[in-house]
Structure 1
């Protein structure tokens, strides 16, 4: 069962939180916890942590710049990475111009209650989720065609990229980078989303 949802900006400022059942932790304490374990994970393994189990509580974390979504559940399968991704996309889509401007005291984001109600409903019934993509880990990267491996490694490290960013990092043209990213999307290795005229590729 889903217990709580939290959304923070990348600086750890609480933007939105909602309790579904049980004790609802203080967002400030949750933010400190998230900042600490994320920093530790980046320092030790070079990647953002996505899941923590504490006794019988399961904590799911999803990062999509410029926010982080955290869900606390009773079981590890009570919420999926795809659903967290959907929540992040919807939040960014609605509040992209406000995310970096408002803090925990703001009422700006409370209208997101309506969106979560649509996603979970009164009984927490899930809506249709985003298409499932395959995990982009070390083994799956090595199974890719050689010309896609460096692109896959970079997006695995960054979490989300643009053709311009990939081109600059790999010293290839933006068009070549876009073609390779589109190949990964067709292979169901990455998601795509549009932000204005820019296409973002994310895992």
Structure 2
């Protein structure tokens, strides 16, 4: 709902709620003209109705504001998770493409690659799946995080010891990279309601 239609709806609501008050004022004024001893009771009725109407209007506004704040938060979290997922896909490709570099004697290159991958893993761990705005986001998010964690473990073993089955490691890195790309596409294809 855009703001113009919301304002129009709010005005209609206020007018709808205030119209009984106007009727009460007219009726109350007529009664006062003929019977002044009932005046305090009429003022009490009018005041009570005004308080109830004010409470309804305030509660309605607070509910709309709370819903808008929730939608804004969900949008921010959604964009954050999609961005982290895209970077995880890029990092998993980097790891697979630099398979030989990870095993090389070039320590600086190995450290740079591993630092980039581990930074991305930390970003993934910093997001709590419970806070995701859509329940359907949890599974692909966990797939990405799990595959990235496994890839980091394999890359560390390959980098540090070199005493790992190269073919098995390359296969795991390739499969994890594919799984991360598929899950990242699935996340980016989702839409908030």
Query: TM (normalized to structure 1)?
Result: 0.22
Which is bigger in relative contact order (C-alpha 8 A, separation at least 6)? 2
Which structure shows the bigger proportion of residues in helix conformation?
A: 2
Larger Rg: 2
